[in-house]
Chain A
Amino acid sequence: MSEHYLLRHRSVPHIDRLDVYRSQGGFEAFHKAVTSLKPGEVIEEIKKSGLRGRGGAGFPTGTKWGFLPNTLWPHYVVANADESEPGTFKDHEILESNPFQFLEGLMIAAYAVQAQRAYIYLRGEFWQLAQALDQRIAQLEADGLLGEDIFGTDYSLRLFTHLGAGAYICGEETALLESLEGKLGQPRLRPPFPATAGLYNSPTVINNVETLTNVPLIIGRGADWFRSFGTDKSPGLKIFSLSGCVNRPGNYELPLGCTFRELIYDHGGGIVQDHAIKAIMAAGASSVLIAATPEALETPMDYETTLEKFGAPLGSASIIVLDETVNMAWLAFKTIGFFKHESCGKCTPCREGTFWMNQIATRIMRGKATRADIHLLENVAQQIQGKCLCALGEFSIMAVLSSLKLFAKDFEQLIKVEHDG
């Protein structure tokens, strides 16, 4: 097995212990940043690396850090550990087994924007991880890596964990901030963006766990090292969460730009019972379905190509594989059910539209739908499109519209026999 950098516990046993992590060069990047780099230099290095947000949007991380105005204080950094996209389970593994590298990344990010407080927002189900993180933060404080005047400089930093209450929407950064402030988790209006008015109305950086886990590597080994992986526009390594009808589901750390075929067949061991592959969801439940043609399988997985070729963003790279036994109407039904359950209810199209789609999809699955219902489903989905307050509502129709477009026959199989007259 090749060397792992993000899932480093797979290469170095017990790296979740502080002494082991430090013996492997842990916190040297943080030390280097705090003692010998100016905050702006850290941001420059991240910009140079081309690191893009691993939470799903793929926004350049260094650019995001650079947005914080130096006229408004305090600054905050928030780690988004709400990992709740169905099919995504990479952050969980990092937090569980390689937590110090993530924490170091968070600390470097905090230094880069001169935040003295950083928060780790974890989904409520991660309560054990939160407890473990709390212990590790205490260890770092005991070791003088966190607290006042770190490494004898005048930089001070404290970290806190915060548990959500089990809402998918709280992975959306502004809903996350609301929840972190103790309010009902509903997305905020943008602008203003968190970079100027985020947590407690202060400039705030919000980064995904995996994004932050890349940071110590870049500061420690340099942007050029980082760029030696991946593609020009999507450099670096990425953890692909592979699930669905594959023989070996799991997290795979691979360079961006590797193909679906490599992931699914070379690493994932191919399709269960050697069934034919039918479709791929690249971004969990929020995916636009990709029909798994041979051409599609050869497509590199990066932030540009899948979007350009299939209109399907890579998102958080949670690759769900669907084989010929799966009816895509059923798949649409499942995603609709998920989004209906998770809609925060703030904006009308998402609140009402997901509920309505769920009613129609349920009729379809029960064999009680007519052809007109399929048309209605498509129409309702189109009515939601482009009208929502945040991305959740827009994501709720991705699988619906793409499955209707690519796999219309799957729906027609389920409609009730229509009698004339």
Chain B
Amino acid sequence: MTDKLVHLTIDNIPVSVPPDTLVVDAAKQAGINIPVFCYHPKLHPVGMCRMCLVEIGRPLLDRASGEFVRDADGAPKLQFSPKLETACTTPVTEGMVVITNSQKVADARREVLEFILTSHPLDCPICDKGGECPLQNLTMEHGPGQSRFLFDEKMHLDKHVPLGELIYLDRERCIQCGRCVRFQNEVADDPVIAFSQRGRALEIITQSTPGFDSIFSGNTTDICPVGALTTADFRFAARPWELKAAASICQHCAVGCNIVFNVRREALQGGRMVIKRVMPRQNEQVNEIWICDKGRFAYHYVESPQRLTQPMIRKDGALIEAEWDEALDLVAKKLTAYGASLVTLAGGRLSNEDLFNLYSLTHTQGGQAVLYSYMAGGDLTAQVGIPPQTDLGKLGAGCVILVIACDLHEEAPLWWLRIKAAAQRGASLIVLNPRTTRLDRYARHVIRYEYGAELAALSAFQPQSRGDLPEPVRSAVKTFQEAENVIILYGSEGLGLQESKALAHACAGLLIKTYHIGRSNNGLVAAWHNANLQGAWDMGFSPINNLAETLSKAGVTYVVATDPAGDDPQLAEALQHSGFLVVQDILMTETVKMADVFLPAQAYMERGGSYTSGERRLQRFYPAVPPPGNTLPDFAITARISQRLGRTAEEQSPARILLQIAATNPAYAEMDYQLLAQVHEQQPLMGRHDLYYGGTTYENRQGLGAHLSTAASRVEPLNIPDAPPPPVFPVQEGLLTVVPTTRLYDRGSLLIHSNLLHQRLAHPTLTMHPKTAEAYQLSRGQTAVMLLEKTPYRVEIDLDEDLPHGIALLPRSVGIPLNAPQAVKLRPES
């Protein structure tokens, strides 16, 4: 053979596939569907359901010569196994002949289906899976049509078993294919569900407390080939054929998972279009076919009764509803008067188009464009980030992935999955973190540093670093130095804005010095805490150190899509001092309550736009539901303000705004909405007509997005700022240093509206080593009072023996404004 492909025929169709390809997948590539239930192209095959039985013949091999035995015509003599074989577990071999369309195979399919159906209830008319059910579809295609099993002898089992509060099991419907169990074991590494019992009593159980404790649990409902696993969200909520699908991008972290909003008109809500569920949309370069439960269940804020849909103006101390013109005229008037002292504070969930218009307005007014974020480095990732042709899904041997100051499982769950998978494929993972995280077990090298010592830890990897390093640092450095490709990913573990800035600078410097820039599979990635922080940096926004002071001095403050007053009393106070306050948001917040003018915006699923992911992939989202009331898209509101100031600004089409972005930002030079909407065939093949194979994940027909170039990949001169001063880690006698950590299920302004996830949300819990607790006379479960800038906060004490001594951990966004390490006074609650 001249190439490395294996040649075989399936139903007389010649197929050439790489070695180790399974017959079922080879057939799929030839356009032949071999029905499966237990097999899933993303999971290891088990051959349990026996649905994929086919006839397989192999050429007889002459043992002496190693040649095929041939008959008189010169054709290889075939040997067929007396039994049918499972196509899902049999790898292809040279000269193999597979028959899937014989009577024998048809009989086997009918017989296996008849067996499966003997135990399956006849509740398709009320089953959530009905209409998109592999069992239903394959029964129509291959089934017996009639059962010989006596209906009265059917086993009846529990139909409403909550595995956790998110996922329900219908035991009657389960066909014991084990896809869910294998997904949790192999992909999610959360082996929290399992088979119990045996025979017909075999059932799925949860082994965790709380039940089904996995942030990826919703994916099991997508790959379940029957209606056995359903989400608490979608259960009995709609029939699949009533649903329309709108392509979108998840907005809850920097990964940018491709999703679909399934919507329908809801009689109970006056015939409005409402979102019924969130589903993954295949993008093998981003999220494959998975999404995390936050992305799946946190959309409910959009239908919150706290949505604001009418502009408001403060009159006599109260916010009174007003017309758009009146509100915008007032804002324009204030800007004309105080424009140069405008401070625009933008949140990281705004789209590129919103941010572009906001920046244009702010810039032309001579104001300051501030990003509401505790992470820095977006200017660096734009220059030395990972360039096009980088695919986390393909990284393997020869590549080093260095993850520093990051609890990836919490900060960017899908990246955790994909980097874990890269490590399993042979990429060398180096994890530097002050405490244990779930990434450690896949790391080749794990390096612990003390909180505050991230720069020192990273400095060991500098080319000129000394040779007498202690283990495990020495081996890690050796691995790093021998790597062909290096990606550095930094997060926000224990860091504030200054620390983040210093760390990002150090990471970028290391990559530049070691020439790991400008090439695919090399560069810097930030695990941003919002969907579009990278886009915000690219549009000209950046965070500042003295936010409270800046706000308090502003003549006009324009706060968009963020709630500083709700987050931090200090910022609330600063806003009291600032001049005219314009707030643009979708929900009632503490900041809105302080506004002089409120401008009601649309949620991102109510309009179109684009996000730039942490990998710097530009992706487009589409309107899914009509906007409520008198709302406008953020970009349109800003454009109308600009227009009132005598400037042109695009208020109709986000597509045209992206063209303006492309004209001004070289990374976006080639970008337009048509490009972002392009798709190509992805392997494995998934989608609507292939439900039986990959599950109900959506085929990507609306766009895979495009990877942005970096300054380094465009071979432009780099513009790296001078090293910021190294931050000082706060340690003070008698005080306890508390460091912030990021939690997936925090109490952020969008998540707080999800009743589903409520039980899992983080609490204001101060976690520390038992020895540390002892030193401060604290014990587990106790409530203590923590003084932060003179404001007391109640925190519950928890203990963790894995943590370093002398510090305590506090999650961000749980109602305590701690976004940087800080030495605090702590006392037991009296």
Contacts and interface: CB of A to CB of B under 8 A. Distances in A.
B194 A359 contact: no
Contact of B194 (A184, A351, A387): A184
Interface size class, chain B:
35 or more
Given A352-B115, A353-B115, A355-B118, A189 B202 contact: no
Interface in A247-276: none
B512 interface: no
A348 interface: yes
A352 B194 CA distance: 20
Contact of A356 (B51, B84, B115, B201): B115
Nearest to A385: B83
Interface in B129-158: 148-150, 153, 155
A345 interface: yes
Contact of B50 (A169, A186, A355, A387): A387
B700 interface: no
B199 A354 contact: yes
A189 B199 contact: no
Contacts, number: 95
Contacts of B115: 348-349, 351-353, 356, 383
A69 interface: no
B608 interface: no
B744 to A, nearest CB: 30
B546 interface: no
B47 interface: yes
Contact of A348 (B45, B112, B153, B201): B112
Interface string A347-390: 11101111110010000000000000000100100010011110
A186 B46 CA distance: 11
A169 B197 CA distance: 12
A348 B178 CA distance: 12
A341 interface: yes
B84 A348 contact: no
Nearest to A341: B199
Nearest to B107: A383
A348 B48 contact: yes
Interface string B22-53: 00000000000000000000000111111101
Interface in A131-153: none
Chain B CB within 10 A, most for which of A186, A345, A379 = A345
Given A383-B114, A386-B84, A387-B108, A347 B50 contact: yes
A383 B202 CA distance: 21
B116 interface: yes
Contacts of B155: 355
Contacts of B50: 347-349, 387-389
Given A189-B89, A387-B111, A167 B48 contact: no
A352 B116 contact: yes
Interface size class, chain A:
20 to 34
A359 B175 CA distance: 19
A95 interface: no
Contact of B198 (A169, A349, A386): A169
Interface string B534-558: 0000000000000000000000000
Contact of A189 (B47, B83, B175): B47
Interface string A397-414: 000000000000000000
B47 A389 contact: yes
B134 to A, nearest CB: 14
A355 B176 contact: no
B515 interface: no
A233 to B, nearest CB: 22
Given A340-B199, A355-B118, A189 B45 contact: yes
B4 interface: no
A237 interface: no
A17 interface: no
B48 A389 contact: yes
A350 B448 CA distance: 51
Contacts of A288: none
Nearest to B148: A376
Contacts of A387: 50, 53, 83-84, 108, 111-112
Interface in B658-704: none
Contact of A167 (B116, B198, B200): B198
B53 A352 contact: no
A344 interface: yes
Nearest to B178: A346
Nearest to A344: B198
B199 A345 contact: yes
Contacts of A341: 199
Interface string A153-195: 0000000000000010100000000000000111001000000
A353 B149 CA distance: 11
Contact of A359 (B114, B150, B198): B150
B592 to A, nearest CB: 54
Interface in B172-195: 175-176, 194-195
Contacts of A186: 195, 198
Contacts of A343: 198-200
Contact of A352 (B48, B89, B200): B200
B119 interface: yes
Interface string B117-134: 011000000000000000
Given A345-B176, A348-B48, A348-B49, A386 B83 contact: yes
A345 B118 contact: no
Contacts of A346: 46, 48, 176, 202
A388 to B, nearest CB: 7
Contacts of A184: 194-196, 198
A91 interface: no
A106 B112 CA distance: 41
B116 A345 contact: no
A164 to B, nearest CB: 12
Contacts of B195: 184, 186, 345
A342 interface: yes
Contact of B200 (A355, A383, A386): A355
Given A349-B115, A359-B153, A344 B199 contact: yes
Nearest to A352: B115
Contacts of A388: 50
A184 B115 CA distance: 23
Interface string A325-343: 0000000000000001111
Interface string B193-223: 0111111111000000000000000000000
Nearest to A393: B50
Interface in B199-258: 199-202
Contacts of A383: 111, 114-115
Interface string A36-66: 0000000000000000000000000000000
Nearest to A168: B198
B447 to A, nearest CB: 29
B116 A348 contact: yes
A355 B119 CA distance: 9
Contacts of B46: 189, 346
B24 to A, nearest CB: 14
A381 B520 CA distance: 58
Nearest to A362: B153
Contacts of B196: 184
A342 B118 contact: no
24 contacts: A184-B195, A184-B196, A186-B198, A189-B45, A189-B47, A340-B199, A340-B200, A343-B198, A344-B198, A346-B46, A346-B176, A347-B48, A347-B49, A348-B50, A349-B115, A355-B118, A356-B115, A356-B118, A359-B153, A383-B114, A386-B82, A386-B84, A387-B84, A389-B47
Given A184-B194, A342-B199, A359-B149, 19 more contacts: A167-B198, A169-B198, A189-B46, A189-B47, A189-B89, A340-B199, A345-B195, A345-B201, A346-B176, A348-B48, A348-B176, A349-B112, A351-B115, A352-B119, A355-B200, A356-B118, A359-B153, A383-B111, A387-B108
Give 8 nearest A-B pairs by CB, closest first: A345-B202, A352-B115, A343-B199, A383-B111, A386-B83, A345-B199, A355-B200, A344-B198
